[in-house]
Structure 1
């Protein structure tokens, strides 16, 4: 595999771990990721489960002002971890592990994970868009959006 392919796949893996943490799909996804890293080694799989739990705990503990920094740090950490494993394999093992990881990530996206194309941004959680100190903030939204306090229902609506 080319280094660019490994890096892109690892980046997608790191993003998926962070996006899944704390969501309804976390338990199953966490187990699949640990199994992928374990490569049949139960002890290594348990170690990865602990590492994944540490990631989820760090993301949950992050305050609002630190959340983005913690997310980026966790994504980078997992990206490096995915790269390290893939690069440690011979060509045949690497291709097989990459195919398994692609399948795992595709399944995660179908279970409610988030994916996006080039030059896009997707979030599986809340997103805050703010303008500070005279700057301008814009966002393009597709789908259901709720901003501010919803209007009170008409008395005829109950």
Structure 2
């Protein structure tokens, strides 16, 4: 399907026509193929609001649709090739979008830092409370141990008198 004069491969729209139209009879392999071609041809002849024309891969993608990682008619891993003006405009838009996403991410990071700080403060307070409680429990255990030792001493002293 290369051009016999230039040797260039056909674009996606021409490739679609070449693979879905019977050259000898001039008929389409399926009525839907004819409708798709008309839609592609219409888009090809229209200019975008900024005065540029859509690239053939963009037209193919718009008419046939895309799925993640797959462009119908071009296969897996195909990427849209855009004219230079559209590409520079798209890169500006993508740059602005990336800047907005970065700003949003920075705000989220700041919010998370505040949350982490609050959690750390709460943990420190809880840790101090637990430490105080443990110290109090240790004092109680020491007091109970002393009381028990005193009772044992008394019982030893008092037991000796009783047995006599």
Fold shared, TM-score > 0.5 on shorter chain: no
TM-score normalized with structure 1 length:
0.26
Higher RCO (C-alpha 8 Å, min separation 6): 1
TM-score normalized with structure 2 length:
0.25
Q: For the pair shown, which has the larger CA radius of gyration, 1 or 2?
A: 2
- Structure with the largest fraction of helix: 2
